[in-house]
Amino acid sequence: MPILSTSVGLTRYRVLEEVEDDLIRSIPDLLLKFAFKDIDHTAEERSFGWVNMDEMLDDKWNVSPPEKGQYYTFALRLDTRRIQPAVLKKHLQIALNHELEEAKKEGKNFISRDRKRELKDQVTLKLRARSLPIPAMFDVVWNAPENKIYFTCTNSKVMEMFEEYFTDTFNLTLEPLTPFFLAMNMLGEDAAQKLESLDPTYFVA
Amino acid sequence: MDLLLLAERENTLLGQDFLTWLWFKSEMSDGQFQLDDGERFLLFMEQRMSVQGGEGENVDTATVNSSSGDMTEVLMGLKTGKKVNRAQIRMEIDENEWQVQIKAEDFGLSGLKTPKVEMKDEEGDDPDSKFLEKIYLIEKCLSLLDSVYMDFIKIRISKEWQDEVSKFRHWLRNDED
């Protein structure tokens, strides 16, 4: 699990809503419901969902439960098929050449723009079916009693995906603990006005 | 104003003010800080730092990565009005040491290194013990960072901030002596 790595990248969140005990108890069921679905035998470009933090292949939490001490742990697994641009270029050229030969037999000397686009889609799909998805894992640690969530990623696209999928799964909203929200969290809503109207500091006279 | 847009402005403002102040603060106090419960720890900014200035399309950044800890170039940046936007921070309690890089605008943490956690499995060990030790050490690191941020934010929104800035300017000037 990435969180045990010597060097960890981390983003912090808190849950905006009040989290009921019932919801906490239903975390394991919701994780199952929104678990990762394998795309090895399809041509899908991308798939993501929750898996066991201890084992990326365990989407049923057979290996271990999500509870570890006071924490709920799981991981966002993201599998992506990538086709090298050079590979696509080559196979598209092969397909275009073939198409042109066929067209010549019918006395035509060109391929329409629409047909080119269609061919590109077909080639992409064919290559995708032949390439293996690349898996990635990002750990999620939910310290429920303290209403804190740690996500082992600082890539904004992955973070956005995580935030949305977390909301879809638990019907809760995550607030990233960036400088402003962390300060609000520490000082309480009363400090909002002060924090919102700060002027930048000029450290040199 | 849209809350997220506002937050973006405030995030950069607070994050950069914080890291810039933290450098001065740790230099002034020889790295000594204290948690609310009285526990003492050391905090230094070292090796890697970058400063940023300007606005919009005219943002200038200067980055230093110095194993000898020579920060002259980023100090030069501060003197021309730039602020710290990325820093590497080292924290120590007794023999324990943490290291982390922090980004001003969103407090994204990278390269977070905790004191070593024994990865070998011993018979009869709780299978979660490695994780629990690691998360304890990570949360410890976050609590140290939060504690200095809390120190900063209290003074930042108070009337004393201008005094603090004067002290900062004095420190920056004295560096030349």
Could you read off the pLDDT of B53-73 as tens digits, one per residue? 887 788 888 888 887 778 888
Q: What global pTM score does this model have? A: 0.90
Nearest to B112 among A7, A187, A201 (CB): A7
pLDDT of the residue at B8: 84
Nearest to B14 among A12, A73, A180 (CB): A180
Mutate to test the interface with A, among B131, B140, B170 (most CBs of A within 10 A): B131
Q: What six digits make up the tokens of A130?
A: 């032949």
Nearest to B131 among A4, A11, A154 (CB): A4
Cα-based angle B84, B85, B91 (whole degrees, multiple of 5): 75
pLDDT of the residue at B3: 67
Q: What six digits make up the tokens of A136?
A: 């990635």
Instruction: Collect all residues of chain A within an 8 Å Cβ-Cβ radius of residue B111.
Output: 7-9
Residues with Cβ < 8 Å from B87, sequence gap 6 or more?
A: B19, B22, B23, B45, B48, B49, B50, B101, B102
Q: How would you write the pLDDT of chain A (205 residues) with one tens digit per residue?
A: 889 999 999 999 999 999 999 999 999 999 999 999 999 998 899 999 999 999 999 999 999 999 999 999 999 999 999 999 999 999 999 999 999 999 899 888 888 899 999 999 999 999 999 999 999 999 999 999 999 999 999 999 999 999 999 999 999 999 999 999 999 999 988 888 888 888 889 998 7
Q: What six digits make up the tokens of A126?
A: 């064919």
Stretch B135-162: mean pLDDT, rounded? 96
pLDDT of the residue at A4: 93
Instruction: Collect all residues of chain A within an 8 Å Cβ-Cβ radius of residue B2.
Output: none
Nearest chain A residue to B118 by CA: give it: A4
Name the residue among A40, A203, A91, A18 with its Cα closest to residue B78. Answer: A203
At residue A145, the 3 state secondary structure works out as coil
pLDDT of the residue at B2: 61
Contact A179 B172 (CB under 8 A): no
Q: How far is A4 from chain B (nearest CA, A)?
A: 7
| DSSP labels, B53-87 | E--GGG-EEEEEE-TT---HHHHHHHHTT-EEEEE
